[in-house]
Structures are given as structure tokens and as C-alpha cells.
């Protein structure tokens, strides 16, 4: 059964990364970037399909490519770091790691 093999990141240090990859997700990113906007639950619901959770050590590695909104949410600013077929890309000294 797939549900037994699939696990969400439940670490308290996990971070949510918004990936602006199309018009809707780019509009959502702009809403979060504008500190004057009040973000309602409908925006959060829409945002979910454009986000990935990553571990804290991955977050620290990606930090130069992120706009940090708050302690739990950041926006990926370097489009080349995400591929719709392979997911979010991390470069490690020993090679490349790709996380979907």
C-alpha cells in the first residue's frame, strides 16, 4: 500500500517553500511579498499546490535563492532551481541532489 510507504516531512524545523512557476503562483507570491496585503485563507488554500516542504538544512542551503516571508514560509526566487519534472534542485559538494 502506497500510504504506508509515503511520509510527509513532519519535522518541526521543516520549511514551506512557494514555487512561483505559473501565473497563479506568481500572483500568490506577489501577495506575500507585499507586506501591506492581508492574506486570507483562500490564498493559503490556492498556495498549497505550489509549495514544497524542505528540511531545515536544505532551507539553509537554498537561503540565497529565497525571499523569506516569515519563519515558516519563503518564496523561491531562482526559477532554475525548480523543474516541474524533477522537482527542487539542491547542489551539494559531492554532486547534485534532487528532491520532489
Residue 76 has pLDDT above 60, yes or no: yes
Alpha helices by DSSP H, 1-100: 2-5, 23-33, 41-47, 56-62
Whether 47 shows a pLDDT value over 70: the answer reads yes
Residues 6+ apart with CB under 8 A from 55: 9, 11, 13, 14, 15
Domain annotation covers residue 85: yes
Q: What is the mean pLDDT of residues 11-30?
A: 89
Mean pLDDT of the chain: 81
- Domain with 66, as residue range(s), is 8-99
List of residues 6+ apart from 33 with CB closer than 8 A: 67, 69, 75
Q: Which of residues 7 and 54 earns the better pLDDT score?
A: 54
pLDDT for the residue 92: 43
With a pLDDT cut of 70, the percent of the chain lying above it is 78
Query: How does DSSP classify residue 22?
Result: S
Is position 28 within any domain? yes
Q: What average pLDDT does the segment 37-57 reach? A: 89
pLDDT at 88: 86
41-61: b or e for each residue (b if 16 or more CB lie within 10 Å)?
A: eeeeeebeebbbebeeebbee
Provide the CB-side half-sphere exposure for 26 (13 A, CA). 5
Amino acid at each position: 500500500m502506497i500510504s504506508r510507504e509515503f511520509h510527509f516531512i513532519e519535522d518541526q524545523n521543516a520549511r514551506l517553500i512557494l514555487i512561483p512557476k505559473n501565473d497563479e503562483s506568481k500572483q500568490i507570491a506577489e501577495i506575500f511579498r507585499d507586506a501591506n496585503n492581508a492574506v486570507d485563507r483562500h490564498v493559503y488554500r490556492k498556495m498549497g499546490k505550489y509549495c514544497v516542504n524542505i528540511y531545515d538544512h536544505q532551507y539553509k542551503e537554498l537561503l540565497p535563492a529565497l525571499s523569506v516571508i516569515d519563519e515558516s514560509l519563503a518564496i523561491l526566487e531562482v526559477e532554475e532551481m525548480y523543474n516541474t519534472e524533477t522537482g527542487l534542485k539542491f547542489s551539494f559538494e559531492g554532486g547534485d541532489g534532487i528532491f520532489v
